[in-house]
A = this chain, B = another copy of it.
Amino acid sequence: MALGEFELIERFFKRPARPAASGVALGVGDDCALLQPAPGTQVAISCDMLVEGRHFFPDVDPVSLGHKALAVNLSDLAACGTKPLAFTLALALPEANEAWLDGFSRGLFALADAHRCELIGGDTTQGPRNICITVFGEVPVLEGRSLALLRSGAEAGDDIYVSGTVGDARLALDALNGRLDVPAAVLAQARLRLELPAPRVALGLALRGVASAAIDVSDGLLGDLGHVLKASNCGATIDTSIAIELLAACHPSGNAHAADRLQLSHAQRLGYVLAGGDDYELLFTAPSTLRAAVQAAAQTSGTPVTRIGRIEAEPGLRLVDAHGKPVSGRFASFDHFA
C-alpha cells in the first residue's frame, strides 16, 4: 500500500487532541507552529541529525531508534539545564513502511510523553533514511541573568563530575561491528546504552545554580571536556583511577561470570571511558564549596554522579593515576568528518 505524505503524518504523527502543552500555542498542521514562552524565560534550541549507516544500523529496532532520535536532543537540553517543551521532526525515508513508522513513532512518543515534550511540526520526504529533530526548552531568566548551564562557566578550582556510567555505548558498537568479543550478557546491557540512552533532564534541572558549566557526553568524555576547557579558557586534570571504574560492562550486575569473561586491557578499558562517545551522560563542573549541593542534585534527580577531576588555570588536559602521576595515552574523540 502506497502511503501519501499527508496520510503518513495523519496516521503516525498526528495525535489525539490533549490538554494544550504548557508553552505550545499552536502545534502540527499550519505553515508554522507557535510557542508562547512563559514571561521571564528564554527558549533553548538544539538540533541533531541522525543518518542511517552513520548513527544507526539499517536494521535497528525502529522503537529504539524513535527513542534515541529524541533522546540525543533532550540530552542537549539537559546539558543546558532547560525544561523540554516541544520538538519538530524532519524525516527522510526511502519508502513509507508502515511497520517501521509504527515502531518509530511509538518509541518517539513514549519518550516525548515521559518528558511532556510536544511534537509541533516537521517535514517528511522520500530519501535516504535521515532523522532531524530540533528541540525546544524553557529556562528562566532571573534578574537579567539566564539560568542556562553553559560550557563557558568553569573556573580554576572547580570539581569535574560525570553522571552515570560511560563507555558502554561504544563498547556495544565495537561488539556489533565485530571489532570486539563481548560476552552476550554483557553486550545485552551495553547495547541498551547504545540504543536506549536516557537523557539526564532531571539532573540538568537540579544542577541549575549549582553547576558552573555543563555539556553532554556525545563525542567522548575527553573531547567534550575539551569543549568546556576551550569555552572556559582553562585546563583540567582527570584522575584515571576513578574514571576507569565508569565502564559499566566491567561491573557485573547479576552476572559476574559474564563480566569476568570480558577481556579488556587497562588501556582499552580507559579508552572506552575517555573516548567512547554516544553516552549522553552529563559532564559538569561545580565549585568545590558546592559538593553537598551537587550530591543533593544527584539524589533529587535519582542520578549517580562521580567526581573525576579538577579544573585548573593551566591550559591543557592532564591525566593522572591514583598517586597523581601523569598517565600517557591518546584518546581521540569522534569527529564526523575525520
B335 and A47 form a contact (CB under 8 A): no
Interface status of A46 (Cβ within 8 A of chain B): yes
Q: How far is the CB of A69 from chain B (nearest CB, A)?
A: 12
Check: A65 CB closer than 8 A to any chain B CB. no
Q: Which of these, B42, B95, B123, B337, contacts A48 with CB under 8 Å? A: B123
Bound together, the chains give a CA A46 to CA B82 distance in angstroms of 21
Q: Count residues on chain A whose CB falls below 8 Å from chain B CBs.
A: 72
Distance in Å from the Cβ of A258 to the closest Cβ of chain B? 34
Given A90-B132, A125-B54: A44 and B33 interface contact (C-beta under 8 Å): yes
Chain B residue nearest to A213 in the complex (CB): B30
When the two chains form their complex, are residues A49 and B5 in contact, meaning their CB atoms are under 8 A apart?
A: no
Q: Which of B77, B80, B92, B152 makes the CB contact (< 8 A) with A49?
A: B92
A250 in contact (CB, < 8 A): no
Known contacts A128-B130, A337-B4: A45-B32 contact under CB 8 Å? yes
| CB proximity of A30 to chain B, nearest CB, Å | 5
Taking a contact as CB atoms under 8 Å apart, the answer to whether A96 and B337 are in contact is yes
A203 an interface residue at 8 Å Cβ cutoff?
Answer: no
A3 contacts across to B, CB distance below 8 A:
337
Q: Please, which residues of chain B bring their CB within 8 A of the CB of A128?
A: 51, 127-128, 130
Determine if B215 and A31 form an interchain contact, defined as CB atoms under 8 angstroms apart. Answer: yes
- A132 — which chain B residues lie within 8 A by C-beta? 47, 49, 90, 123, 130, 132
A34 x B42 contact (CB < 8 A) = yes
Report if A167 contacts B (CB, 8 A).
no
A43 interface residue (CB < 8 Å to B): yes
Which residues of chain A in 150-170 are interfacial with respect to chain B, using CB atoms and an 8 Å cutoff? 150-152
Mark A93-127 against chain B: 1 for CB-CB distance below 8 A, else 0.
00110000000000000000000000011111111
A122 to chain B, nearest CB (A): 5
The 10 closest A-B pairs by CB, nearest first: A51-B127, A132-B132, A128-B128, A49-B90, A32-B44, A31-B79, A134-B134, A47-B88, A32-B80, A35-B43
Can you list, as one digit per residue, whether each of A1-15 has a CB less than 8 Å from chain B (1) or not (0)?
A: 011111010000000
A272 within 8 A of B: no
User: Would you call A2 and B337 a contact (CB within 8 A)?
Assistant: yes
Q: Which of A282-312 contact B (CB under 8 A)?
A: none
Partner of A336, one of B47, B51, B125, B151: B125
CB–CB A29/B231 < 8 A: yes
Contacts A29-B231, A47-B88 given: A124-B34 contact, CB under 8 Å? no
| A338 interfacial contact with B, CB 8 Å | yes
Shortest CB-to-CB span from A49 to chain B, Å, is 4
Do A30 and B80 touch (CB < 8 A)?
yes
- Compute how far the CA of A92 lies from the CA of B90 in the bound complex, rounded to whole angstroms: 13
A151 to chain B: closest CB distance in Å?
A: 5
Given A55-B125, A127-B53, do A42 and B35 touch, yes or no (CB 8 Å)? yes
14 contacts between A and B (CB under 8 A): A5-B336, A6-B335, A29-B231, A30-B152, A31-B76, A31-B79, A32-B148, A33-B46, A34-B43, A34-B148, A53-B127, A54-B125, A127-B130, A128-B128
